[in-house]
Amino acid sequence: MRRRSLLAGLTALAVAGLPNETPAAPKFSRVRPGEPGWPSVTTWEDLRKSVDDRLVKVQPALDVCRVDPDAAACRELFRELKNPYFIGDDPSLTQTLGWVDAWTSQPSIYAVAARRTEDVVAAVNFARTHRLRLVVRGGGHSYLGTSNAPDSLMVWTRAMNEVVLHDAFVARGCAGQQRAQPAVSVGAGALWMQTYNAVTTDGGRYVQGGGCGTVGVAGLVQGGGFGSYTKNYGIAAASLLEAEIVTADGVVRLANACTHPDLFWALKGGGGGTFGVVTRVTLRTHELPSFFGGIAVTIKASSDSAFRELIGRFIAFYAESLANRHWGEIANVRPGNRLDIEMSFQGLTLEEADAVWRPFLDGVKAAPQDFTFEKAPRMRVAPARHRWDPAFLKSFAPAAVRTDDRVGASADNIFWAANVSEAGHVIEDFESRWLPASLLQSGRRSELVEALVAAARHSTIEIHFQKGLAGGAEEAIAAARDTAMNPAVIEAFALAIVASEAPPAYPGLRGHQPDLAQGRCNAAKVRKAATELRKVAPAPGAYVAESSYFETDWQAAYWGAHYPRLRAVKDKYDPEGLFFVHHGVGSEDWSPDGFTRLT
């Protein structure tokens, strides 16, 4: 695994014999429990009173396994670690339990279970005053571990989950400068499944969000945000009309195009947990198409040469027929000469979509000596209003969804079966790369095909077509230009992801420890596959929410030419660096754990 060189702590050296030489002042450090400056019990009690008893002493859920790893309570815990709603409702847990040789999920000491913006203000002021490590958590889905840190105070926004629809929204201070438009205001703790249900099932509108329904809304927007239909509706960050945010000075600010426009721009893709605690976002909504649909098929090639032919045909087919505003989601180029396609569409009838795919599928069928359908093509459509309707999905596509099985859980708490592997998982390695649309030109397709085939000898390559805007709607591309996202996303037709993960595990728990040897072996395969992809996409470019913990040139990879502007916003609104996340804007000033300032 690539290793990031860790910055060593700076030590002031006294040089004997030099006149007027004084020891260098120690760098600023945050305090830990037991150290001078850590708040007293009385001081914590004062915070509890100020937030109406919503200060939580975090009890690690995994403690039941430390007491007895073989106990029924421990087995039940690990069963529930495949339920993302269970994880999200426990402040000691995160959706990712760790990353081999990178980080392990560790709970905060205390959490403010915020219900009001005033609770967030109190927590921010307390952390600043007492030099505490501060963590912001909504959905808790960070692969890079940014929603947890040991010895910290957590601002936990889970309960701030109100969803309010607007027929004619105008951002504060923008009257006369901005047209009224349909929108939705969403609390920082709301999940996308809740939000889609309110906006689409109940409201008959569409809001651009994420594919995984248990991701937090505010975090996804700040990271950029891609969903199945990004090529038509744009990235989620570009839908932001206004955000309420508590900045490091404890001030509540409304950021929009007319008020604090610099901060507003930074929140559109500049990374969550970096510029403040976002407590509410307001996003534009769109008219629904008549239908949403999808196609799934798995094709196996009989030989290496046939596989190369298959991938070549598919890339040509995508370039000529699918690289437009209608299509999104994933094709997996797998070891064993398999191509697994699960793509979605909007704005087309079933007949229109079938006509698009018929030439490619007929061509595969016409060469049985080279190709076989391991899973026969299946295309389905459904009324768009039912796309996230829990009751409808349970009957229409029961195999596609799972339900929160806890006693008393809402019947609306569903999640995609395809995302089960991400609940409580341990990442072994993860790499992403935006693939430029120039690779789809007829003269360069062979380069792309060779890279994909070579990479798939080591690990599965996921081609996420909805995570690149090339070929998409002009309005979606124009809106993306006014975000903090790396401009590479505009020129990319897809994001290639190579990753490996393992089931829930935790170091030190007998019978539940991660298999480090296997994890490192799988990580090596991921790195080899990523190396093949970098041959055709050498420029740094990765999606901040789905990228390597060990990304070396992360400023350029995540934000490209926008990084200096983002850094200026960070220095303006958080000059002391109260908000720290791994590889977030300004994090280069700090030790890897975020406790010691290095500059």
> Using one digit for the tens of pLDDT, what is the confidence trace for 61-92?
999 999 999 999 999 999 999 999 999 999 99
| Structural domain contains residue 489 | yes
CATH number, position 526: 3.40.462.20
Percent of the residues in the chain that have a pLDDT greater than 90, as a whole number = 95
d(CA 268, CA 177): 20
Q: pTM, whole model, 2 decimals?
A: 0.94
pLDDT of residue 2: 36
CA distances to 173, 327, 335, 430, 448 from 530, in Å: 47, 25, 14, 9, 13
- The pLDDT score that the predictor gives to residue 174 is 97
Average pLDDT over residues 579-597: 97
For residue 108, name the pLDDT band (cuts at 50, 70, 90): very high
> Phi, psi (5° rounding) for residue 136?
-115, 125
pLDDT of residue 137: 97
Q: How far is CA 207 from CA 229, 235, 287, 529, in A?
A: 10, 10, 9, 35
Percent of the chain clearing pLDDT 70 (strictly above): 95
- What is the C-alpha separation between 464 and 127, in angstroms, rounded? 39
Task: Let me know if residue 320 belongs to a domain.
Answer: yes
b (16+ CB within 10 A) / e for 523-540: bbbbbebbebbeebbeeb
451 within some domain: yes
d(CA 526, CA 562): 29
Residue 324 in domain: yes
Residue 361's pLDDT band (boundaries 50, 70, 90)? very high
- Tell me the three-class secondary structure of 447-507, residue by residue: HHHHHHHHHHCCCCEEEEHHHCCCCCCHHHHHHHHCCCCCCHHHHEEEEEEEEEEECCCCC
Please say if the pLDDT value at position 290 is more than 70: yes
Q: Note the pLDDT of residue 28.
A: 86
* Structural domains counted in the chain: 1
Amino acid code (one letter) for 168: A
User: Predicted confidence band at 599 (pLDDT cuts at 50, 70, 90)?
Assistant: confident
Decide if 426 is inside a domain: yes
| Residue-range definition of the domain harbouring residue 532 | 291-383+413-554
Residue 530 lies in a domain: yes
User: Domain for residue 23, yes or no?
Assistant: no
Q: What is the pLDDT of residues 458-516, one digit of tens each?
A: 999 999 999 999 999 999 999 999 999 999 999 999 999 999 999 999 999 999 999 99
**Whether residue 30 has pLDDT greater than 70:** yes
d(CA 297, CA 371): 12
* Span 207-220, pLDDT tens digits: 999 999 999 999 99
Q: How confident is the model at residue 26 (pLDDT cuts 50, 70, 90)?
A: low
Residue 288 has pLDDT above 70, yes or no: yes
Report the length, in residues, of the chain. 599
Instruction: Give the type of residue at 567.
Output: R
Nearest alpha carbon to residue 274 among 478, 555, 518, 510: 555
Give per-residue pLDDT as tens, 129-146.
999 999 999 999 999 999
Q: Phi first, then psi: give them for residue 339, nearest 5 degrees.
A: -120, 120
Question: What is the dihedral angle through the alpha carbons of 472, 478, 481, 484, rounded to the nearest 10 degrees?
Answer: -80
Hunting for tokens 């795919």 — which residue is that?
357
Average pLDDT, the chain: 94
**Looking at the predicted structure, is the pLDDT value of residue 260 above 80?**
yes
- Of 5-19, 224-238, 440-454, 521-535, the one with minimum mean pLDDT is 5-19
Q: Is residue 12 part of a domain?
A: no
